[in-house]
Amino acid sequence: MAKRLTEQRWQRVRQHGPQVTPEVTIWEVYGEGSFRWRFSADYAESHIGAWAVSEVSPERGVMFLAGTSKEQRPPSRFHVLSVEFLEAGVRLGEELYQGVPLTHREGVPHVSRAEHAAVTTDQRARFFPLWRSLTASTWQSVAAPPPGDPDVYAFDRDGQYTAYFATTRCQYAGTWSLFTSGGETGELRFSVPGHRCDPRGPRDAFIREMPITLQDHKLFLAQTVYEPRPQEEVR
């Protein structure tokens, strides 16, 4: 999987209308363990960093990223993205990217030792504490959640999650990714199947994003508070 990620650039173009500048996102992943991310629309943004992938199968895995913007030192972004190779390209962090040839117009970005160290297996508990906490327990809601929010979440280390709804005894699964600055707050991104457990919801599959905070052993996801299931062993 690591080799396949480095063989091409990965690009996603999002059109918003004929008179609007398209949004272009590009990943360049290098075998030296560094990456470059670019975004352009009415403005441009980029950052670089170190990466490592934990392979679940030849087609699926989880990518750990420790990165910075050009103005920031030390590392300030600690993301964990689900990865899956499909016929149409690669799904990275719940978004589909298509492969385009590498141009090598720019050299491999220089990445600090701190960034390379952060994505190693031994250091993930230190630099990705929220990811570690999420995957250590199954999370159940403290009170009845609002419509659309499940009663139970289980976040697996292979980039998959399961959501369970007690009132309908319904559950669904998908992929998830985490975006943080290294602390106990950040953003979660889910792939959600359409109409699976809420007939009032979207008919088609969609991507849901929501803020997340871990505080006092409780997980705050949008309007719902979750806590670890009691007496549950760390998975």
Q: pLDDT, tens digit, for every residue of 37-75?
A: 999 998 898 889 999 999 999 999 999 999 876 555 556
Q: Which of 7, 5, 25 is nearest to 15 (CA)?
A: 25
Sorted by where each begins, the domain ranges of the chain are 2-124, 131-228
At 234 the pLDDT is 38
Kindly indicate the confidence band of residue 235, based on its pLDDT and cuts at 50, 70 and 90. Answer: very low
Q: Are 190 and 176 in contact (CB under 8 A)?
A: yes
pLDDT greater at residue 125 or residue 155: 155
> What is the pTM (predicted TM-score) of this model?
0.90
The dihedral through the CA atoms of 186, 56, 195, 167 has a sign that is negative
Mean pLDDT rounded to a whole number for the chain:
89
Strand partners, 52: 64
State pLDDT tens for residues 112-124.
898 999 999 999 8
Residues in Cβ contact with 120 at an 8 Å cutoff, skipping those fewer than 6 apart? 52
Span 79-98, average pLDDT? 95
At 232 the pLDDT is 52
Q: Retrieve residue 198's tokens.
A: 């809420």
Q: Which of 143, 141, 178, 186 is nearest to 157 (CA)?
A: 178
pLDDT greater at residue 73 or residue 233: 73
- Portion of the chain with pLDDT greater than 70, in percent: 94
> In the predicted model, is pLDDT for residue 214 greater than 70?
yes
Strands 89-92 and 160-165: unpaired
At 183 the pLDDT is 84
d(CA 25, CA 71): 20
Strand partners, 210: 188
Q: What architecture does CATH give domain 2-124?
A: Beta Barrel (2.40)
Kindly indicate the confidence band of residue 233, based on its pLDDT and cuts at 50, 70 and 90. Answer: very low
